[in-house]
Amino acid sequence: MLKRFLPNEHVKSVFDIRPEDLKAKGIKGIITDLDNTLVAWDVADATPEIIEWFKLMEDSGIKITIISNNKEERVKLFSEPLHTPFVYSARKPLGNAFKKATKTMGLSKNEVVVIGDQILTDVLGGNSAGFYTILVVPIVQTDGKITRINRQIERRILSWMRRKGMISWEE
């Protein structure tokens, strides 16, 4: 059961995820979280670096869909200037948003990677739905109220995994 909380990869940021590495794994699409994965949770717009990363993926033929548990207004405001499909109020870790995003991209599960900063939503949801998952370090150490609770639970899970030798990275 706890293996569902274990990502396939762990990186410092989305900028460590390169299209050539994804393509080598047969990946043609990305499902990514928004808050604290792409930008800080309290930043409304994409940074120039994120815009460049999206363009790099697009130029490499990799599709991106954003899925977020946040409200439509927040996700739409971020996604539309990037011309990126999105799913809001996703209810991660439940699988419906992941399936919807995959269908929107016209890809199969084994062609899509799930990227996010939370084990309890992004990694658990991606793993439970059968995707390859990449955990990124949260952009900022502050969070909204619900996420703060999740982070406490995540720290306990990560600590247990570290003691069992299942992970080697630091928080």
Q: Where are the domains of the chain?
A: 2-140
- What does the pLDDT read at residue 53? 98
Is 34 a residue whose pLDDT tops 70? Answer: yes
Reading phi first (left if > 0) and then psi (alpha if -120 to 50, else beta), residue 94 is in: beta
Contacts of 53 (CB under 8 A, 6+ apart): 14, 15
22: enclosing H helix or E strand: helix 19-24
Dist CA 105 CA 92 (whole Å): 19
- What CATH code is assigned to 2-140? 3.40.50.1000
| pLDDT reported for residue 170 | 60
d(CA 164, CA 90) in angstroms, rounded, equals 32
- Tell me the pTM: 0.88
pLDDT digits (tens, 9 = 90+) for 93-108: 999 999 999 999 999 9
Average pLDDT over residues 110-124: 95
- pLDDT tens digits along 47-81: 999 999 999 999 999 999 999 999 999 999 999 99
